[in-house]
Structure 1
Amino acid sequence: MTFRKILAGGSLALAAVTASALPVFAQEAEAATEAAAVGAQVSYIFNTLLFLIGGFLVMWMAAGFAMLEAGLVRSKNVSMQSLKNIALFAVAGLMYWIIGYNLMYSGVDGGYIGSFSLGYALDPVGGDALDTGYSTASDWFFQMVFVATAASIVSGTLAERIKLLPFMVFVVMLTGFIYPIAGSWQWGGGWLSEMGFSDFAGSTLVHSVGGWAALAGAFLLGARDGKYVNGRVVPMPGSSIPLATLGTFILWLGWFGFNGASQLAMGTIADVSDVSRIFVNTNMAAAGGVVTAMVLLAVMYKKVDVTMVLNGALAGLVSITAEPLAPAIWQSVVIGGIGAAIVIFTVPLLDKLKIDDVVGAIPVHLFAGIWGTLVVAWTNADASLVTQFIGVVAYGVFTVVCALVVWAVLKAAIGIRVSPEQERLGLDKAEVGVEAYPEFAQ
């Protein structure tokens, strides 16, 4: 047999083997494609589930703010705080749907603002968005509940002397325009995102923005009658420490959704592990805040003020929100503890400046939020302290200017403060018409 015949025979044999193997290869390729499709669907389901669970936990924080504020205002103003908190949540949802979401996420492209288009369209019934990796409705819902948090911060600071109507008008502007535009700079892929600014779950984007808006309002609104007399700070105890404590625990629980779901994915083992790590760091930062507040109060004042301890827990939570994934546990405790210390030292500072913050929201959400944003550079190697500082300043200037303009226009146009007689009577009677504790008041 010649070499040519051997080669020809071998070629025929190889062709036969290849032909017989082709269906096997095709089956394997088809199986791989099907497995990839199933994997994408599973990832889609778990990512969507994370958004929904995180969303309703953050929504539950609205109840926490309502209870905290109801407990820290006087009995004659509890109904008003309850009304404001449910109203602001509803308005935040409507404004974020009408215009806010598009301003924050649509067509930012490294710039300063998104689209002014009205309304936000969800997937059709039974539809999906596999190309995004999660349901668009779940994403919108999760982003929306953050907006109300910023407005709740303002509500607590300005309690007991602000009119309902101008407050609600300000909520419209904050949730529909100020917060979404500011948020677009980072979470919408705007200029700060391009620069490398880092704010994982919103120490600055949510908490400091709310804090700056509250500070601007408190400056123009003025202190409650009788709060500062002849250089003295007159205590005005709240109506219910149990309610305030309950509110703090609700907020603590909701924060696991706030920070944990900001991982934005739960479709892989790595993502689920990171969410778990975020839960632990979030919890330990709050614990560090509580213990630090108790120790400092005992040393400085010989008594442990429970309201300050509650705010210590919240300050710890705010502080860790900018970066809850990267820190070791001990770093989370330190970050939360320093956040609480900032609150202990800045509450008296505000009183010296005669800035009346009824629930302590400015120290907790603004000052601890700034701290949490700057300290990201300690635990996240990809973050720059200079860039973090630029972000803090940018958000501060933008929010304060916008808030001052809105508050000043409202003050000139319709007035933002109730009369002295109404303030003494209490806003429950003067503005709401329903007393929270009628038998007790009588």
Structure 2
Amino acid sequence: MVEMKQFTALSTGVDTIWIVLTAAMIILMEGGFALLEAGFVRRKNSVSIIMKVFVDIAFGTLCFYAIGFALMYGKDWSSFIGTSGFGMKGDLSHLAFPFSKETFFMFQAAFVIAVISIVSGAVAERMQFRAYVLYAVVMTTVIYPISGHWVWGGGWLGKMGMLDFAGSAVIHAMGGFSALAAAQILGPRLDKYREGENNVITPSNIPLASVGAFLLWFGWFGFNAGSTLSASDVRIGHIAMVTMLAASAGGAITLLYTMFRYGRADAPSVINGSLAGLVGITAGCAFVSADAAILIGAVCGLGMMAATYMMDVWKIDDPVGAFPVHGVSGVIGTLAVGLFARGKGVLYGGGWQLFGVQTLGLLVICVWGYVCTWIALKAIARIVSLRVTEEEERIGLDISAHGAMAVNTEDTLTLGSEYKKRV
């Protein structure tokens, strides 16, 4: 009996360390988001992007602690919403984990931070900072936790059998469609579609964006493998392998496509292709084979390229490709589970039931993110302006909103001083 208690205590301790470490890996992804987005936007908006990521972490964690966690993982009410655990207090006895509820909170808080960071890139270079803070509060307090409850918190989609191991739908598709709504409401950056033409706004620092992508890639192993919530889960190695394969396939297919299509390997496309593969495998990393993971990653890479092209056709300005990478790849990855899940997918003799559930759940979650973001931003617009002025946008949000530049030279210091005198 004593030996069993010691073994249980040791197992719980190891699981706790595993979950906290993988949560830290996911939080490090915020550094990836910051560098990726700072590299993709113009230099005059680099500080602005980084400050938005700090908003994601600081406000996202506090809002999820106070309200969001309870709505997502509290005692289920009508399969729609959680009703206990506000401020991590009250009855959470239904969370029957061997480790503490604080450990579980840390892991889930890392996820909610990632959701809002998806939107930050889509609104880059023209959203009013105060408006972004308000939207981040709404997203992390209400929008994400409620739809997350439907799948992971004991809600109706989870009860129907929807499979989304680490969040292709719950996090990425929902965040991607929220980003789409935000980009549409804000409108394109000045001169982006001048006279009906797509005027390419080149990234400011591709090496910086590349480092950001590598940090995200690293953190994704915590994202996916950490979702086992157990250090002794035998699936961890397989999850890590298929995560690597899907990301590699996404990067490889976009590299080959741009080489043959444009005669050169396009760096931003390859970066986003790798991330698209990561997004796509997130739902099925515990359910699909290695070969299926490669196919999923490749399809996500091509889907991202097609969506990026269509965004310009529709004149929707998404500076970092948030919707093509997260929204489109999240859709592909979630549906792929219905096809490739071993034992349950269509191609494994499981019939069409799972695919139908995946489709329904995906549709509901995407519509929820899009509509809620639309409503939230329209409501926020009644309180503060959503968009900066034309002068502020042309000068750059670093100086106009934060009074600092990423790189201070004599010219930028003079520009900042002149702007401050005028305002």
Given the alignment, which residue of 316, 329, 345 partners 1:368? 329
Matching residue's letter, 2:183 = A
- Helix, strand or coil for the counterpart of 1:233? coil
- What residue number does 2:377 align with? 407
Q: Distance in 1 between matches of 2:410 and 2:217?
A: 30
- What residue number does 1:263 align with? 228
- What residue number does 2:86 align with? 118
Given the alignment, which residue of 28, 47, 62 partners 1:94? 62
Given the alignment, which residue of 42, 53, 72 partners 2:10? 42
- Helix, strand or coil for the counterpart of 2:293? helix
Q: Distance in 1 between matches of 2:81 and 2:181?
A: 23
Does residue 246 of structure 2 align to residue 285 of structure 1? yes
Does residue 201 of structure 2 align to residue 240 of structure 1? no
Runs of 4+ in 1 over 3 A off after TM superposition: none
- What residue number does 1:382 align with? 344
Q: Distance in 2 between matches of 1:242 and 1:112?
A: 44
Does residue 29 of structure 2 align to residue 61 of structure 1? yes
Q: 1:274: how far off?
A: 0.7
Q: Distance in 1 between matches of 2:162 and 2:311?
A: 29
Given the alignment, which residue of 307, 327, 330 partners 2:268? 307
- Helix, strand or coil for the counterpart of 2:81? coil
Contact 1:100 1:175 in 2 (8 A): yes
TM-score scaled by length of structure 1 = 0.88
Contact 1:99 1:116 in 2 (8 A): no
- Helix, strand or coil for the counterpart of 1:437? coil
Q: 1:145: how far off?
A: 0.6
- Helix, strand or coil for the counterpart of 1:159? coil
Does residue 49 of structure 2 align to residue 84 of structure 1? no
Contact 2:128 2:388 in 1 (8 A): yes
Given the alignment, which residue of 164, 168, 174 partners 1:203? 168
Contact 1:102 1:114 in 2 (8 A): yes
Q: 1:175: how far off?
A: 0.3
Q: Distance in 1 between matches of 2:390 and 2:279?
A: 35
1:411-430 deviation per Cα after TM superposition (whole angstroms, max 9, x unaligned):
23321000111110100111
- What residue number does 2:129 align with? 164
Q: Distance in 2 between matches of 1:130 and 1:227?
A: 49
1:377-406 deviation per Cα after TM superposition (whole angstroms, max 9, x unaligned):
122133511100000111012121211111
Q: 1:46: how far off?
A: 1.9
1:136-158 deviation per Cα after TM superposition (whole angstroms, max 9, x unaligned):
21110000010011111110011
Q: Distance in 2 between matches of 1:421 and 1:116?
A: 47
Q: 1:34: how far off?
A: 2.4
Contact 1:110 1:189 in 2 (8 A): no
- What residue number does 1:73 align with? 41
- Corresponding residue pairs, total: 402
- Helix, strand or coil for the counterpart of 1:238? coil
TM-score scaled by length of structure 2 = 0.92
Q: Distance in 2 between matches of 1:218 and 1:130?
A: 37
Gaps of 5+ in 2: 346-353, 413-423
Q: 1:131: how far off?
A: 5.9
- What residue number does 2:180 align with? 215
- Helix, strand or coil for the counterpart of 1:358? coil
The 1:130/1:34 distance shift into structure 2, 3 A limit, reads: farther
- What residue number does 1:178 align with? 143
Does residue 317 of structure 2 align to residue 356 of structure 1? yes
The 1:298/1:144 distance shift into structure 2, 3 A limit, reads: same
The 1:387/1:289 distance shift into structure 2, 3 A limit, reads: same
Q: Distance in 1 between matches of 2:97 and 2:316?
A: 46
The 1:251/1:222 distance shift into structure 2, 3 A limit, reads: same
- What residue number does 1:30 align with? none
Gaps of 5+ in 1: 1-32, 124-128
Q: Distance in 2 between matches of 1:254 and 1:405?
A: 32
Q: 1:39: how far off?
A: 2.5
1:16-35 superposed matches below 5 A: 33-35=1-3
Q: Distance in 1 between matches of 2:108 and 2:63?
A: 12
The 1:441/1:41 distance shift into structure 2, 3 A limit, reads: farther
1:356-393 deviation per Cα after TM superposition (whole angstroms, max 9, x unaligned):
00000100000000000000012213351110000011
Q: Distance in 2 between matches of 1:311 and 1:281?
A: 18
Q: 1:177: how far off?
A: 0.6
1:152-204 deviation per Cα after TM superposition (whole angstroms, max 9, x unaligned):
11100110000000011000000011000010001101000000111000001
1:294-347 deviation per Cα after TM superposition (whole angstroms, max 9, x unaligned):
111112222221001000000000000001122222221111111001011110
